[in-house]
Amino acid sequence: AMPIFMPYFHKETGGMRVEDFMKDYYFNFGKEHGIARFGPSNDPVAIVFNEDYLQVFHKEGKYPAGILTGAWAVDEYNRKYVEGYPKNPFLYDGETWRKGRMAVNPYLFNIKEAQSYLPAINETVNSAVHYFEEYATSGKMDKFLELCAFDMFTAASLGIQNKSVAGDPEGLEIAESIIGSLSTLSKVSTECPYSKYDMLKFSAWDNFKKKWSTGREASKKLMKMALEDGEGSGKSIMHGFLGDKELKISDEEANEMYLMLTFAAADTTSSLTNNVLSNLAKNPDIQDKARAEMKQELGGDDYNPEGTKLPYFEQVLKETQRLTPTLGFTNVKSNIPRDLVMNGYTIPAGATVIFSNMGIAHDEQLAGPHPQVFDPDRFSEEKIAARKGTRAEFLDHPLACKPFGFGARMCVGSRIAKLEYMSLICRLIQDYELRVDEQKSAPVDERVRVSRVTTIEYPCPVFKVDKL
């Protein structure tokens, strides 16, 4: 069966109701077999909804494919317009990717190193929260979180307090230039999905070229401020990269890596935080329970993972990812290296295989009763133990309940991103009581979850915010 996309297109945003599409596709085609043929392309593409997808990781070999390899527009832009044709390892497969990933791991995946950026992240958060009420009560929480995510990652990656949330003119211009360039990358990849030659058919390429140029110049400006002019803390991810003599990274390559890391980290962090806060605002009892746990562990102080245990809030995060995931599908693996048999069907080498958790997340036989209800107790120790040895156990697998992917090509900035969203959410929930203002928000039946890359509710609700 072939899907019909148009009913899921969201005209106001230009996005897609990906979650609705995946749910419908599961219940119409994938529930019985756990797999379904997909795509407008002639190339074989399959969506897998269950644990059989793990075969892809077991058999993909030394050089796994990653979702960023679909960002062909960046490589095409660099080839045509950037002197020296800098190559970003995150956009490639093979040895180019492996060497790049091994080089950045000490600065991004090492727990101690990642946590060394937390003071700068907390500083950003403590500055930004003063403006939270202004944004949230005017229907602009999504904008607040977008800018805050950018500022947090800039603090970690460059050691600079950008202060776009506060409306600093220079900081805001830089943030909007870079965020705008990254959003056009998503658009051109979506509208020209299968071949760079599609760019001849779409205006998206021209828009991307213009916006990407602006974003690259803004990122160069930030890099110069941090690395040449001595602004900021002098301690950051990019300071580590460029100070490592063995890596031999040029300034252009460093700029490319900063842009792609921002693309991978900021949008996911913003959307995840948005979904968590929205769920808590709609469920006051759950919010109160999470707040009590945070206050007991943190005592009103900034988030610090050392010695901090927040088991109930971890359940909130998993339930958020189940019911309102950051992405309606994850772990897109293109050009698989060998034939695979999944759920009794042969997937030929060269095919693209996509995993979506939207099937198990909304199937009451797997997710439990009332799967449309936000219930963090679904991930209590007792419920997890009860699922052991059953098909429903896959609900607890990291592939199904983690927001940053799984396997060797999972988000390279996931450790930093977790520090960011934990810092921000713990600060906000400890300091504010948050409720949806239904009188000022669009009616519930007019609010939909839309994906442009990641997924949030549109239009953004208006919130009632009370300082505690």
Task: Give per-residue pLDDT as tens, 68-83.
Answer: 666 778 888 888 888 8
Domain spans of the chain?
A: 1-467
- The tens place of each residue's pLDDT in the chain, 468 residues long, gives 444 667 888 989 888 899 998 999 899 888 888 888 765 556 678 888 988 988 988 888 777 777 666 677 888 888 888 888 887 777 777 887 777 777 778 888 888 999 999 999 999 999 999 999 999 999 999 999 999 999 999 999 999 999 999 999 999 999 999 999 988 887 776 666 544 555 444 577 788 889 999 999 999 999 999 989 999 999 999 998 888 877 777 788 888 888 888 887 788 899 999 999 999 999 999 999 999 999 999 999 999 999 999 999 999 999 999 999 998 887 788 778 889 998 888 888 888 888 999 888 999 989 999 999 999 999 999 999 999 999 899 999 888 888 877 777 777 778 899 999 999 999 999 999 999 999 999 999 999 999 988 899 999 999 999 999
Total-model pTM? 0.94
Instruction: Give φ, ψ of 254 to 5 degrees.
Output: -65, -40
Beta bridge partners of 48: 35, 355
Given CATH 3.10.150.10, say whether it is the number of domain 1-467: no
Count Cβ atoms within 10 A of the Cβ of residue 303 and give its class: 0-12 exposed, 13-18 middle, 19 or more buried: buried
Q: How far is CA 344 from CA 32, 320, 340, in A?
A: 12, 32, 10
**Per-residue pLDDT tens digits for 310-354:** 999 999 999 999 999 998 887 788 778 889 998 888 888 888 888
Q: Are strands 463-467 and 45-48 parallel, antiparallel or unpaired?
A: unpaired
Q: Is 148 annotated as a binding residue?
A: no
Decide: 45 and 345 in contact? Cβ < 8 Å. Answer: no
Alpha helices of 245-305 — where are they, by DSSP H? 251-282, 284-298
> How many other CB atoms are there within 10 angstroms of residue 10's CB atom?
17
